[in-house]
Amino acid sequence: MPNDGSVRLHLDQQGCEPTGLVAKIKKSKAADNNIKDRKQTDHLTGYESDAVTHLLSEMGLQWLDWQCQMVAGIIRGGLFRPDNSTHVETLAKWPASEAYDPLLSNIAAEAFKQKTSICSSRQHYGPQQQRVCDLVAAPLIIDNQIVAVVVVMLSTRSKPQQHAVIQLLQWGGMWLETLLHKGGAGTKSGTVLLRRLMDQEQSNTLLQLCVDLLETEFRCERVAIGLHHGMSIELKALSQSAEFDRRSKAIRCLENAMAEAADQLSPVLFPQADDVTGLINRAHQELAVEQKRAVIYSIPLQVKGRLLGVITLERSLGKGFNKAERLQIESRLALIAQVLELKLSEERSFWQNTGRLFREFVSSLLGGRKLGAKLTALLLFVTLFGLTQIQGNYRITAPATIEGEVRQVLVAPFDGFIETADLRAGDLVKKGQLIASLDDRELQLERRKWLSERNKIEKEYQNALGRHERTALSVLKAQLAQVDSELKIADEAIGRTQLRAPFDGILVSGDLSQELGAPVESGQLMFEVAPLQRYRVVVEVDEHDVAELHPGRSGQLVFTALPQSQFDISVAELIPVAVSHEMSNYFRVEAFLERPTKLLRPGMNGVAKIEVGERSLFWIATHKLTDRVGLWLWSMGW
């Protein structure tokens, strides 16, 4: 149901209590069952057809007025019935002063033709067709036959809102069907009674009118009506008597008789007729003695299976109620009960209606019907209650990755070409072990060049030494030192062409076995080496759970490669920087392994569960949902 106020169900603008007829029918499951249990008849009988026509003719305008006032935003409305195969006859229009509008009759004829509800959006009407509206047509069904179509013109709505309006109109039609079958509203006298009752604005005047009309129609000495209140029946109206003393013995006897019929939820007749046996009528007998009347007949008023009150009719000796009269009285009271329930509901406050609905819910919950569903609900309640009481170990679950405690990077020392690559990622290495080497031929040529230059200078130095040329010796000695420096640089460069492991560990990345002879640039990453037996665990904790963590918490870690083994971990540090990944944020939480093992390798993934403390099982199962709903409500300004 849309919550923008488009369909009021007789709710005021601020959301007051539901008081409309359609709202009451909607809340009753009996209305839904009424649709399912309709008799599948091909044609209405002659009597039923006449009764339907009479009912629509007498009540059509008033019923249409009720429906149009219950739905906000209705511009015009009409009630139509088929005239022939292609035309429809207008039974009523709302407002009554509005001129004939062919839009309404056209969509009504289409609904009759298709035998279904129709929604027509964004139709133009009015002067020069400048206004826009929606048209909704809903067939009224009685005894599985379409007897009329109600059409409303309303401000533009969404599809769900249009279907809600259709449902409201159809429920209103079900009320007409109830009046026709149970209340005799299809007869002339029933229609007159219905109109007189609906004209009453307050329930107390309605009750007084009911007892006066019943007394006159059924020639009774006295008629009384009492309403169900709590666990008793309280007298509300007496025929030909505007006031009465509630403390008198006669009134107490009358209320006792009504309570007797209410307790048995069945009409009670004193003295009992041949076709009415097995009912307790002791209170009725006491009332007959007190009032000195021979015949007393009490009938409970029930609406949708709920007790509304009791009506008691009294006659003098020799004027008993025969079976035909009793059936006629019960038919009238069914009609009265429908109208009385409507009036009483309109006068109740929001809290009274809420309390009544709660009592009905409790009554249906504790009753004997639908035992299987109630046992299921009870089991569910016990389960939920147990979950709120039983404590469990709450653990934060998050993906985890193992990394080396440190990571040494091996890069290209200068521009060159790959000569050998004996190892690759995943291989274990020892300290000083050769991993790969670069082509050093140019460096070797450079070294031989300087070595030849040194030999040359060395020879000149020996000659100068033999001739005792001090100046030349000093120059040659400086040249020898320069050449030695160049040789040392060449030797170091040749040594750096060999990439060796800085410590015992494992190659984490790098595979040059398929790139022999490929050029490399100075500073290019070639290998990464991580030490063995020194690892750290990185847990990616969702931002919703990170507040529960702090250094020192313990947990367990299971790796994808070792699903049968659990490793104990302890939180070491929380990195206070969020990382965005796939539309969500997480924090890196670093932990360490309590007992390292040789089975682990850097880069292995798994799932970590970090223990937080004890919580109820219900909280553990629902806290994520409730936290997110609470955050969403807060963001919406609630």
Q: Over 90: is that where the pLDDT of 606 sits?
A: yes
Are 341 and 414 in the same domain?
no
- Kindly state whether residue 401 falls inside one of the protein's structural domains: no
Mean pLDDT check: name the lowest of 50-64, 362-376, 454-468: 50-64
Are 277 and 263 in the same domain?
yes
Are 331 and 410 in the same domain?
no
| Cα 22 from Cα 44, distance rounded (Å) | 25
CATH of the domain at 431: 2.40.50.100
Q: Over 50: is that where the pLDDT of 171 sits?
A: yes
CATH of the domain at 543: 2.40.30.170
Mean pLDDT check: name the lowest of 380-384, 395-399, 435-439, 614-618: 435-439
Percent of the chain whose pLDDT exceeds 90: 7
- Kindly state whether residue 173 falls inside one of the protein's structural domains: yes
**CA angle (267 as vertex; 278, 369 as ends), nearest 5:** 80
Q: Over 50: is that where the pLDDT of 632 sits?
A: yes
How many domains is the chain built from?
A: 5
Average confidence score pLDDT of the chain: 79
Are 342 and 474 in the same domain?
no
Q: Over 50: is that where the pLDDT of 330 sits?
A: yes
- Taken in order 551, 552, 555, 561, the sign of the CA dihedral is positive
pLDDT of the residue at 31: 38
| Cα 514 from Cα 523, distance rounded (Å) | 20
- Kindly state whether residue 391 falls inside one of the protein's structural domains: no
For the chain, first and last CA: distance in Å? 20
pLDDT of the residue at 312: 93
Q: Over 50: is that where the pLDDT of 33 sits?
A: no
| Cα 333 from Cα 385, distance rounded (Å) | 46
pLDDT of the residue at 29: 36
- Kindly state whether residue 381 falls inside one of the protein's structural domains: no
How far, in whole angstroms, is CA 184 from its chain's centroid? 43
Q: Over 80: is that where the pLDDT of 322 sits?
A: yes
Q: Over 50: is that where the pLDDT of 36 sits?
A: no
Are 480 and 514 in the same domain?
no
According to DSSP, the residues that pair with 241 across neighbouring strands are 238
Q: Over 50: is that where the pLDDT of 45 sits?
A: no
- Kindly state whether residue 353 falls inside one of the protein's structural domains: yes
Q: How confident is the model at residue 57 (pLDDT cuts 50, 70, 90)?
A: low
| Cα 49 from Cα 82, distance rounded (Å) | 13
pLDDT of the residue at 223: 92
pLDDT of the residue at 94: 84
| Cα 238 from Cα 250, distance rounded (Å) | 12
CB atoms within 10 A of CB 553: 18
Q: Over 70: is that where the pLDDT of 20 sits?
A: no
Q: How confident is the model at residue 35 (pLDDT cuts 50, 70, 90)?
A: very low
Are 242 and 300 in the same domain?
yes
Is the separation of the CB atoms in 151 and 137 below 8 Å? yes
- Kindly state whether residue 208 falls inside one of the protein's structural domains: no
Q: Which of 303, 57, 38, 31 shows the shortest CA–CA distance to 167?
A: 31
How far, in whole angstroms, is CA 621 from its chain's centroid? 17
* Cβ within 8 Å of residue 386, ≥6 positions away: 617
Name the token pair of 14. 């601020």
According to DSSP, the residues that pair with 138 across neighbouring strands are 150
Are 278 and 427 in the same domain?
no
How much is the average pLDDT of 180-200?
60
Higher pLDDT, 446 or 58: 446
pLDDT of the residue at 179: 58
pLDDT of the residue at 40: 34
Is the separation of the CB atoms in 153 and 103 below 8 Å? yes
Instruction: Note the maximum CA span of the chain.
Output: 172
Q: How confident is the model at residue 58 (pLDDT cuts 50, 70, 90)?
A: low
Are 86 and 178 in the same domain?
yes
Q: CB-based burial of residue 334 (10 Å sphere; 0-12 exposed, 13-18 middle, 19+ buried)?
A: buried
| Cα 500 from Cα 522, distance rounded (Å) | 17
Are 432 and 448 in the same domain?
no
Q: How confident is the model at residue 204 (pLDDT cuts 50, 70, 90)?
A: confident
Q: For the chain, what percentages of helix, strand and coil (3-state, to nearest 5) are there?
A: 40, 30, 30
Question: Which stretches of 465-566 are assigned E, i.e. beta strand?
Answer: 498-500, 505-509, 519-520, 525-531, 535-542, 554-559
| Cα 575 from Cα 590, distance rounded (Å) | 8
* Cβ within 8 Å of residue 343, ≥6 positions away: 200, 202, 203, 206
Q: Which of 304, 306, 285, 336 shows the shortest CA–CA distance to 228?
A: 306
| Cα 631 from Cα 19, distance rounded (Å) | 35
Provide Rg for the chain, Cα atoms. Answer: 48
- Kindly state whether residue 296 falls inside one of the protein's structural domains: yes
Domain range spanning residue 59? 21-188
Q: How confident is the model at residue 280 (pLDDT cuts 50, 70, 90)?
A: confident
b/e sequence 5-34, b meaning 16+ C-beta within 10 Å:
ebbbbbbeeeeebbbbbbbbbbebeebeeb
pLDDT of the residue at 460: 83
How much is the average pLDDT of 582-592?
86
Provide the whole-model pTM. 0.42
- Kindly state whether residue 576 falls inside one of the protein's structural domains: yes
Q: How confident is the model at residue 300 (pLDDT cuts 50, 70, 90)?
A: very high
Name the token pair of 147. 């007897």
The H or E element spanning position 629 is helix 617-635
pLDDT in tens, 530-562: 887 777 889 999 888 888 888 889 999 999 988
pLDDT in tens, 205-229: 888 888 888 888 888 889 999 998 8
Are 529 and 539 in the same domain?
no
According to DSSP, the residues that pair with 400 across neighbouring strands are 539, 606
Are 342 and 444 in the same domain?
no
- Taken in order 349, 354, 358, 360, the sign of the CA dihedral is positive
Q: Over 50: is that where the pLDDT of 152 sits?
A: yes
How many residues are recorded in the chain?
Answer: 638
> Which own/partner contact pairs does 385-393 have at CB distance under 8 Å and 24+ positions apart?
386/617, 387/616, 387/617, 387/618, 387/621, 388/616, 388/617, 388/618, 388/619, 389/616, 390/616, 390/617, 391/614, 391/615, 391/616, 391/617, 392/614, 392/615, 392/616, 392/617, 392/620, 393/611, 393/613, 393/614
Are 523 and 555 in the same domain?
no
How much is the average pLDDT of 157-184?
71
pLDDT of the residue at 334: 81
The H or E element spanning position 71 is none
pLDDT of the residue at 258: 92
How far, in whole angstroms, is CA 330 from its chain's centroid? 44
Give the helix ranges, DSSP H, for 77-220. 102-114, 159-182, 188-198, 203-217
CATH of the domain at 29: 3.30.450.40
Mean pLDDT check: name the lowest of 9-13, 48-52, 56-60, 567-571: 9-13
pLDDT in tens, 102-121: 888 888 888 888 888 888 88
Ramachandran region, residue 631 (left: φ > 0; alpha: ψ -120 to 50; beta: rest): alpha
